[in-house]
Structure 1
């Protein structure tokens, strides 16, 4: 399985991945990364935060962006070179997040693709905004 080459892409092309964040996802992410911040795993603690409940790790949402880039656009064989992220709103357990990547630039001679990367929740609220630089597979 091989992703798209730079010659197969155009500015404006996009792809998405959607997932509902479960309590299990948050606990597994904490276990994998070691990030046991009580804002993510302790409801009693989280009740006293600005969010009033537990929130998912920001990097969990960023992982959904990685899914789009590594499996859909450009896809398998792509090398992730850079990612800039702004975390704009919390993601709560039960939220359905749609990660989207849209091509904003192509540099053929360097085999580089720039993409706007976003995550929105089920209400259309932008929760993550960013930009990625990728090196897609060669022909």
Structure 2
């Protein structure tokens, strides 16, 4: 049972952020590996493709409800890609430690915010269940 309709989206984003953290950590770990190319998980491009192809449809289940976007899991799975256009070192490696550390910090902030949202959503669900049990 989900706390709300947004729960699955939050958990999907939490998983995405966890996987992205692994990719960033791998980039940092390979900073001295000759010919290693920086990798990234691409989600935004897949979302843009879904929007361009008009495969995201609004769905309203009741005339009194607000419309929401259908889950994106079928069309927007993140893909692991080599980052293009980065400056290479003499050994062919293109990992930039400063940019990877910055991405890691940004990813952690977003991860923490999603985690906080999940906790808040769960507390709200719990309070609804507890108040309904009193009646």
TM-score, normalised via structure 1 length: 0.25
Larger relative contact order (C-alpha < 8 A, sep ≥ 6)? 2
- Which protein has the bigger strand share? 1
TM-score, normalised via structure 2 length: 0.26
- Which protein has the bigger helix share? 2
